[in-house]
Amino acid sequence: MRAETPRPLPIPPNLELRNVPPLSQDLRDRLLPYTNSRSAQLVEWDREGRGLVIATRFGDSSQLHEVRQPMGARTQLTFFTEPVTTATSRPGKARELAFLRDEGGNENFQVYLLDRDSGEIRRLSDGLHRYQNPRWSPDGRLLAYNSYARNGRDADLCVFDFDAGRERPVAEVSGSWSVLDWSRDGRRVLLQQFLSVEQSHLWAIEVASGSRTQLDDPTAPPAAYDHGRFSPDGTSVYALTDREGEFRQLARLDLESHLWTSFSAEIPWDAEAFDLSSDGALLAASFNEDGISRVRLFDAATGEARKGPELPPGEVTELLFRPGSHELGLTLTWAQAPGDVYSFDPRLGQLERWTASETGGIPASRFVVPELVRFPTFDRLPSANPKEAGPERTIPAFVYRPDRQRFPGPRPVLIDIHGGPESQSRPGFLGQDNFLVNELGLALVLPNVRGSSGYGRTYIALDNGRGREDSVRDIGALLDWIKTQPDLDASRVMVSGGSYGGYMVLASLVMFGDRLAGGYDVVGISNFVTFLTNTQDYRRDLRRAEYGDERIPEMRQFLETISPLNQVQRIRGPLLIAQGANDPRVPLSESTQMVEALEKRGVPVWYVVGKDEGHGFRKKPNADYLQAVFLEFLGRYLLQAAPASG
């Protein structure tokens, strides 16, 4: 009997493929349930009643929806091909929403106004330049935001004046700034000036005159200041800051005495988000405890701790008090839920679920909850006694292990490295990658190498400057640790990552190519000098603060030396590389030049370009096809390799 000819999988029209073999529809069919999970993200409390505005996907991209009650129907508000995930409702005219949207992933976000009654959408910005951080004045007459229209580099403060029907510049600034909040009297705007992950400042700018006042001490040692909210009476500012130690604390600055009061000095973890109730009485903050979020409440006057919600081990984002209430909204994602919206009533101690996001028909209990491990690396912590060696340094990682009964023996391993580099892998929902663990029996390891956030100022700075390749050496230490695990197959290990994680993939193949079966690089940096030359103007100085200034000859030489493109002869491959054509952060040229260099050396390299994508693949047809390509790549170069004996 003749075997059936495999059905070819159609290629989405906005993808360009190079060296990628034809794919089978059967592969896509196996993957299908895992591509059809969806998540929900809290965007805003509706100022009318108790409803919510959320972002979720029912088509090919995430859009705004409203939910009028817990577990109520999701009514779609925006209908674009491009994702819409942020919005803010207008005080006094609650049926109007300001939101941001870009085109093709280019991150030139424009400001729009949606009238939910008429369905009319009006663009407020110029349609050409980048805009960010829209915030309404308390009376709803002005919408403040950051505009890069002046020179494409600096985030000036502007307001759209609805009485005048036009934009009005308020203050020209230099570098990266973010609008955070308005004072209750509508006279001042609070902004963050961002210099690096380790240094930022808080400023208040008078809207009428544009005059500015730095709120943190300009003579103090460098520190980070995140978020920021005015108190209702305007006499103080709440913020997250590491000015007093390793970790970011929730603190209050008295604007008259200039004294800071910490609410979380005894908590040895970073506060990562917070909100202040509209009456100024209650604070809610999320703390990143070894990668797992814990929400805590505080009395804003006394600092007394209040009981927060009990949550599964995952990541909490978008903490928002309902206006006129102490009811707290939040988004939670964890290994067995792709992201849902909840509210917590501290008076009743009650957690209420607003959305139940679908998981493609797969029971949530089938998704693996990761194990937090720490593996020793190549160097040691500083010693209090200079005559003695310090304790060994360990690197945290989350490990998703497949079911041992279904998949006995040592399992192949995929190491997935986060971007940033000042980011962090969290124990969240794997999405399509659940297929790798559940159906292919791969073990998935997510390390937080040095330079990751969440572990203090010292740890995040360990990869700075000439320490860049030390984070790559942490991957070598992880490979050593994998050898010690009886259920992991050290002879079948592949590495993947996106953005800076893509650089880590390439650098790992340079440094440890003989120990790796291949790599999967998404929008990765291949040469630091060409990256810094070609990234968007508004990002360049921020990246120089992290990677080094290529204009300095000595640093330029160092960056050239460590760049994977200049060590391509050490890469044996194979490699799968994916890139968005419109990426403003890591330009298309970074991936193309690496592909061409590998092809010249005869290294197997598959290349997928999304013509309507930017820094990653956000359109569902593109993302689904790319995942199918990845599965084919894994099948050929990792799963078909001979396993080690158990």
pLDDT class for 562, splitting at 50, 70, 90?
very high
Instruction: Give alpha helix (H) positions in 484-512.
Output: 500-512
Q: Which one, of 353, 383, 352, 638, lies nearest residue 519 by Cα?
A: 638
Pairing outcome for strands 605-610 and 15-18? antiparallel
Confidence at residue 389, expressed as pLDDT on a 0 to 100 scale:
84
* Most confident of the ranges 103-112, 539-548, 636-645: 103-112
Confidence at residue 437, expressed as pLDDT on a 0 to 100 scale:
97
Question: pLDDT tens for residues 48-91?
Answer: 878 999 999 988 889 999 999 999 999 999 999 999 989 999 99
Q: Is-above-0.75 flag for pTM?
A: yes
Q: Is the pLDDT of residue 384 over 90?
A: no
Confidence at residue 237, expressed as pLDDT on a 0 to 100 scale:
98
DSSP string of 195-234, one letter each residue? EETTEEEEEEEETTT--EEE-S-TTSPP--EEEEEE-TTS
What number is the average pLDDT over the span 468-482? 97
Pairing outcome for strands 575-580 and 519-522? parallel
What number is the average pLDDT over the span 484-505? 97
Confidence at residue 465, expressed as pLDDT on a 0 to 100 scale:
84
Compute the distance between CA of residue 107 and CA of residue 292 in angstroms, rounded to an integer: 29
User: Which of the 8 DSSP states describes residue 588?
Assistant: H
User: Which of the 8 DSSP states describes residue 616?
Assistant: B
Compute the distance between CA of residue 98 and CA of residue 193 in angstroms, rounded to an integer: 23
Cβ(262)–Cβ(248) below 8 Å: no
Per the prediction, the chain carries an average pLDDT of 94
Q: Is the pLDDT of residue 3 over 70?
A: no
pLDDT class for 133, splitting at 50, 70, 90?
very high
Question: pLDDT tens for residues 219-230?
Answer: 999 999 999 999
Confidence at residue 1, expressed as pLDDT on a 0 to 100 scale:
43
What number is the average pLDDT over the span 246-259? 97
Question: pLDDT tens for residues 387-444?
Answer: 888 899 999 999 999 999 999 999 999 999 999 888 999 999 999 999 999 999 999 9
Confidence at residue 439, expressed as pLDDT on a 0 to 100 scale:
96
Q: Is the pLDDT of residue 199 over 60?
A: yes
How much is the CA Rg of the chain, to the nearest whole Å?
A: 25
Mean pLDDT is lowest, of 118-122, 162-166, 381-385, 586-590, for 381-385
